[in-house]
Chain A
Amino acid sequence: MVETLLFYVFAAAIVFTAVMMVLSPNIFHSAIYLALCLFGVAAIFAMLGSFFLAGLQVLIYIGAVVVLTIFVISLTRQVSGESDAQMGNILPAFLTAGLSTTLIILAVLKTDWNTMAGESVAALEKTNNVTLLGNQLISSFVLPFEVISVLLLAALIGAVVIVSKDAGENK
């Protein structure tokens, strides 16, 4: 009962902060709302028993992504009272978002999740999440795990190439 109540509280918080992130006139506030929204997602992960995922969510998304975003905002522009919002397409945006959300919710509600084949979550709960994840990453999923390392290398090279300053460019 408490769990259900908590779930709805967090879900409502996620929706509210997500909407506020889009609507907020100040891009700096948007970043803060994004952090709160991601925190709500982490809370839901924790409630589902995935403490490791919740921790990762906080560390990576809030600790790295949002903080980096805030850095970028404060380095590239002055935080001012001016509005950054672009409200020109607000109606089509709301319509698209509303329609797709309704569609997704309808599809998920209409699906009978119990008849689906496969392992149930209950069976997984008995084992240690982190151990399981670690084992999977270097056994069944070793291939994507290794491909990601090449992906990071490519992204790193790309970032260096694009942002590096050429000699003679800084005149």
Chain B
Amino acid sequence: MNLKLLSDELMLTGIITAVLLLDFIIKDKKQIIAYTFLALIAGLTLFIGLHRQQGVVLNGSFIYDGISWFSKLIIMLGAVLATVMSLETIKVKPKYTGAYYALMGTSALGMMFLVSSKELVTLYVALELATISLIVLSAMHKHDDLSLEAGMKYLLLGALSSGILLYGLSLVYASAKTTYLDRIMAVVSSGAAGPAFILGIILVLLGVGFKLSMVPMHVWTPDVYQGAPTPVAAYISVASKAAGFIFAIRLFQYTFLKLDYVWVPILMVLAVLTMMIGNLVAISQKNLKRLLAYSTISQAGYILVGFVGASVIGISSVLFYLFAYTLTNILAFTVLAVVAKNTGSDELADYSGLARREPFLAVSLMLALLSLAGIPPLAGFVGKFYLFYAAMEKGYVWLVIIAALNSTLSLYYYLLVLRQMYIYDSAVEMPKMKIPVSLRILIIVCIIAILAVGIMPGWFIDTTTEIAQNMFTYTK
């Protein structure tokens, strides 16, 4: 067994242990733990980025291939950015600081296992590790009823979707009599998939849909995003969604690829519903966090459009979009966190006149929202274009047309926010906002990255394409 392939996960486990031990040793000045955690996971992200590996262990149940490398990078990037955001904005009692960052680490660990495993038991256990850590993180603002409500809803609906997923997986296992994805794929290829297998696939699809906040499993999203601490909401919206999509890619674009006549039509209908419901409900939102929640639901719909597209280009476009979307969403949530720290509110009405009071924040939020809407030359434009191109390659013109119309529709509510910031003015004079240096740096880094990815996407697209091809060629 080649333990070197597990080095990223082992190091992250070490970091979690270190955080817990530090929490035990350091009695006051708990911020030290946060900075240590940040330094360690930033180092780990750098290590993963520079140290790509290739190989399988344990009879193919754990794989380190291109796709797991890239998604680990997205997950760790999400964790690092969310940690920077947490430094100044979370309102957790000092004695829980260690637990907060440790749970951030365990959820990242779960997602890292999730994107690397090719075996059903490991996949499920990793998914649960990620979800349970996120549930606790959502409920971390204990003094806030909304936060507790978020944790509760996440827990109950997460348990329900886990149940559905597990039932689906058990039907798949009962039919294929193996839990290894490669062997299940062999069973699928031999054409021996009976009705129970098909039903299992559909249930799995719904169970995974919870992580993707795909309609009809999306109901938790707005409440959790609104109630959870803003960095946690940002983290759920990027890392957890990315891990969910990789899970879906491993199952559907790889294992059940031969059965695409079953899941492609279902996913197409669900993609349309996800976009429509996300966008239409977003229009009437008065709370910016809820608005962003519905916006992420519709974003999941766009990603699904690319997901059902031609296999290599589809996977490549999904990976690219997840990367662009991570930067964009973190930027939007960071601005929200700064404003909420100063005004204590996420209501749209409190953003009136932000452009005059805080031009820096207003411009940053504008860039993030325009990138989400898909306006060139921002990262979101290239990402969306690529997703739609993947669907076009397979000839789903109608789906692309609906997606493009939805994209226009989404511009409406993003512009509503801009109107609030730029045209309306606040009735009462507010004191100058304090923007912590760490968050200022975070915002600037995200803006530069969004522009860089949007203007020069070539290198990133080459990377994701190579990775997507790698998944099919490297199976061993």
Contacts and interface: CB of A to CB of B under 8 A. Distances in A.
Q: Which 8 A-B pairs have the closest CB atoms?
A: A118-B177, A158-B136, A111-B194, A111-B196, A154-B106, A107-B199, A107-B195, A144-B125
Given A116-B175, A116-B177, A140 B58 contact: yes
A157 B13 CA distance: 15
Which range contains the number of B residues in contact with the other chain? 35 or more
A154 B177 contact: no
Given A108-B196, A143-B117, A157-B103, A118 B126 contact: no
Contacts of A107: 171, 194-196, 198-199
Contacts of B186: 117
A155 interface: yes
A110 B59 CA distance: 32
Contacts of A116: 175-177, 187, 192, 194
A93 interface: no
Contacts of A56: none
Interface stretch (B127-135, B220-228, B281-289, B456-464): B127-135
B231 interface: no
Contact of B99 (A110, A119, A160): A160
Contact of B125 (A117, A147, A162): A147
Contacts of B195: 106-108, 110-111
A161 B140 contact: yes
A150 B121 CA distance: 15
B96 interface: yes
A19 interface: no
Interface in A114-165: 115-119, 140-144, 147-148, 150-151, 153-155, 157-158, 160-162
B142 interface: yes
B64 interface: no
Q: Which of A107, A141, A147, A160 is packed against the most chain B CB atoms within 10 Å? A: A147
B133 to A, nearest CB: 5
A147 B126 contact: yes
A166 B186 CA distance: 55
B121 A151 contact: no
Contacts of A106: 195
A111 B142 contact: no
Contacts of A158: 99, 103, 132-133, 135-136
A47 to B, nearest CB: 18
B177 A117 contact: yes
Contacts of A118: 176-178, 187
A143 B113 contact: yes
Contacts of B121: 141, 144
Contacts of B129: 147, 150-151, 154
A60 interface: no
A111 B125 contact: no
A147 to B, nearest CB: 5
A151 B132 contact: yes
B139 A162 contact: yes
Nearest to A136: B121
A112 to B, nearest CB: 6
B175 A111 contact: yes
Contacts of A154: 102-103, 106-107, 129, 132-133, 136
